[in-house]
Structure 1
Amino acid sequence: MRHVLLLLLGAHLAYAGTHSLRYFYTGVSGDIDFPEFTAVGLVDEEQFTYFDSNTKRTVPKTEWIRQNVEADYWDGVTQTFTGTHPTFKVDIQTLKGRFNQSAGVHSWQMMCGCELNDDGTKRGYWQYGYDGEDYVSFDKSTLTWTAAKDQAMITKHKWDADKAFGEYNKGYLENTCIEWLQKYVSYGKDTLERKVSPQVSLLQKSSSSSVSCHATGFYPSGVTISWMRNGQDHIEDVVLGQLIPNEDGTFQVTSTITVTPDELKNNKFSCVVEHQGKTISSILTEDKIKTNYDSSASVPIGIILGAAAGVLLLIVSGVAGYKVYQKKKGFKPVNASDDGSNSSAHSDPKP
């Protein structure tokens, strides 16, 4: 379980485009207290469906999907996910042999999804990863697969030769995904097209520790956090945290700067948060920074800084294998500018 959680905690949640639809299938093997197979659907990075091999049923995660689809919708996707579970289980064993592995925790994951921008441009994704690393990705313009490592060449050649599989993926990328994305956006328009500005706080555990600029409660997820020193951009000793979803569907993110008390005293440091055309600038001064050692702080800073970890663990319990594949980097679009993607209704050939 620890191995999987580390991958999840290291996952980067992609900053959403105009509108996006993605599915993540994750198979896991090894001695862990974790479902062998999970499937998660997201619209604009908000989870709207969830399935795992323990419960063997697909459940809605938003009111807008719950209210707009009938029982046969859930029966259909549950049947698909249930059928995919044994395939992923066998695939992991195949890949363990290919990588000369006999024990340990291993994961096999698929991601497919599409984005639709206001100007009508589309992007699509169809990729697989093994143990948190890229494995193969699909190019719908050539109906071929790109191998990310030598062990994936066998898979590439087998899947390149399966023209029916390639044509199916292409059709889904170009048509079905976009159609469902538009349908889902119409279902959840009030939620998915809302705009909520971030609340920004400056946090510090002690007078000698780094200072965190914490932006939370914003929607959509696209946000920029930067630091300035005496009116100039400052990038030294700055660490940007992961974008994390809150329980209410909004997002939070933290950027941390390491600065000595003397530097803070002799310079003007500011955290600048930009979201949906609005800029919020907070200057690092003692009266602005919430700390553990400040008796005037209404909430202990340890609780505030711990909130992000707590929220992510809640997300982990609900999303399970969501984005294990993004251990080291985010998904990149397939080599096409006019495609969509995403499927919860297909069966892959063996790798």
Structure 2
Amino acid sequence: MHTDARGPSLLNPPPPRPEHTGPYSLSFFYTGLSRPRDGFPSFQATAYLNDQDFFHYDSEDRKAIPSYPWSQMEGIEDWEKESELQKAREDIFMVTLKDIMDYYKDKEGSHTFQGMFGCELQSNKSSGAFWRYAYNGRNFIEFNKEIPAWVPQDPAALNTKQKWEAEEVYVLRAKAYLEEECPAMLRGYLQYGKTYLDRQDPPSVSITSHGTPGETQTLKCRADGFYPREIELHWIQGDDTQETESGGDILPSGNSAYQSWVVLSVSPQGRASDSYSCRVTHSSLAQPLTVLWQGARAEGSQGAREQ
């Protein structure tokens, strides 16, 4: 097939990149404390779009404050209306915490009530939802939208179930929220933020080594600044994957990106044999990235990004 300096022939165009279809999720995490302390108000809520902070609310400011970049997207949400909704949810949430403490006569110490709920879309269709609560770290009550009903997981939750199911309409509203309202809100947010959630930021990869000549050398392969979160890092000797000593965790690195690393110890005998390399697999890379370590020198394979 003929090509020229301007790129591939129009008779053989590159295959189109498939449109990302998710999954996308909208989730809320609530925490109530019976005894607030500095830095920890009595109630706080954080919303997430996928794994990205969407907005934060707490009992001190009583305002839904959007996180970047959502704060720059005009029209994505009516933040005053959202603040009023969170105030109402705060009131119900803290009354429930008091009811549980009264049931157990928990007068001493600090007690915690947590709530988690949200929904997911795959190919623009609802593909999952959850709504559950915990008291002092133990499962408390969960909504089963198939029954539909609140399912107690703690003795005190029987009272909560009776209160929340006093009228059938409340159960139907919870079911409608998970199956209809939450997915509809998520679709609306995606009209503004889908490009941001679909972005592909490749990792910067670096290798460092520590140790004295003639002794065991510690090699660290680090990947920085990548998104989305999923990534694989492996140390390779020759064609064999090596078992690493530590690392593998994926942590935020700032700017809504992530970092990860793997550590390997290499004996003097090992350094004298096959070379070692770090192999990185990430969705932003057309193929796995291999960075070679030889002695105290790291060389990136073609396309490697180093720091």
TM range (shorter): 0.7 to 0.9
Equivalent residues of 1:212, 1:254 under 8 A apart: no
Equivalent residues in 2 for 1:171-182 (5 A)?
171-182=176-187
Question: Which of 42, 51, 60 in structure 2 is aligned with 1:36?
Answer: 42
**How far apart, CA to CA, are the structure 2 residues paired with 1:145 and 1:27?**
20
Structure number having the greater helix percentage: 1
Equivalent residues of 2:134, 2:141 under 8 A apart: yes
Aligned-residue offset at 1:78: 0.9
Work out whether 1:272 is the aligned partner of 2:249: no
Residue 58 of structure 1 is matched in structure 2 by: 64
Work out whether 1:166 is the aligned partner of 2:171: yes
Residues 59, 271 of structure 1: alpha-carbon distance in 2 compared, 3 angstrom cutoff: same
Aligned-residue offset at 1:160: 6.0
Equivalent residues of 1:58, 1:78 under 8 A apart: yes
**How far apart, CA to CA, are the structure 2 residues paired with 1:28 and 1:178?**
29
Equivalent residues in 2 for 1:124-273 (5 A)?
124-148=129-153, 152=157, 155=160, 159=164, 163-203=168-208, 211-235=219-243, 237-244=245-252, 246=254, 248-249=255-256, 251-262=257-268, 265=271, 269-273=276-280
Larger RCO (CA under 8 A, 6+ residues apart) = 1
Aligned-residue offset at 1:187: 0.9
Residue 291 of structure 2 is matched in structure 1 by: 282
Equivalent residues of 2:48, 2:54 under 8 A apart: yes
Equivalent residues of 2:225, 2:253 under 8 A apart: no
Aligned-residue offset at 1:36: 1.4
Deviating more after overlay: 142-151 vs 110-119:
142-151
**How far apart, CA to CA, are the structure 2 residues paired with 1:204 and 1:166?**
59
Deviating more after overlay: 174-183 vs 261-270:
261-270
Residues 118, 225 of structure 1: alpha-carbon distance in 2 compared, 3 angstrom cutoff: farther
Deviating more after overlay: 58-67 vs 79-88:
58-67
Equivalent residues of 2:217, 2:268 under 8 A apart: no
Residue 95 of structure 2 is matched in structure 1 by: 90
Q: Deviations over 1:193-236 (max 9, x none)?
A: 22211112235676678654332222222333344454334445
Residues 244, 287 of structure 1: alpha-carbon distance in 2 compared, 3 angstrom cutoff: same
Residue 27 of structure 1 is matched in structure 2 by: 32
Residues 94, 20 of structure 1: alpha-carbon distance in 2 compared, 3 angstrom cutoff: same
Aligned-residue offset at 1:53: 1.2
Q: Deviations over 1:17-37 (max 9, x none)?
A: 532211222212335212211
Q: Secondary structure at the match of 2:265?
A: coil
**How far apart, CA to CA, are the structure 2 residues paired with 1:40 and 1:69?**
20
Aligned-residue offset at 1:269: 4.7
Equivalent residues of 2:229, 2:250 under 8 A apart: no
Amino acid at match of 2:298: K
Residues 85, 64 of structure 1: alpha-carbon distance in 2 compared, 3 angstrom cutoff: closer
CA RMSD of aligned residues (A): 3.5
Q: Deviations over 1:145-167 (max 9, x none)?
A: 34455654554565566533321
Gaps of 5+ in 1: 1-16, 290-298, 300-351
Equivalent residues of 1:65, 1:184 under 8 A apart: no
**How far apart, CA to CA, are the structure 2 residues paired with 1:201 and 1:145?**
50
Aligned-residue offset at 1:270: 4.0
Gaps of 5+ in 2: 1-21, 300-306
Equivalent residues of 1:135, 1:149 under 8 A apart: yes
Structure number having the greater strand percentage: 2
TM-score by length of 1: 0.64
Amino acid at match of 1:180: M
Residues 283, 80 of structure 1: alpha-carbon distance in 2 compared, 3 angstrom cutoff: same
Equivalent residues of 1:195, 1:218 under 8 A apart: yes
- State how many pairs are aligned: 273
Residues 117, 141 of structure 1: alpha-carbon distance in 2 compared, 3 angstrom cutoff: same
Residue 113 of structure 2 is matched in structure 1 by: 108
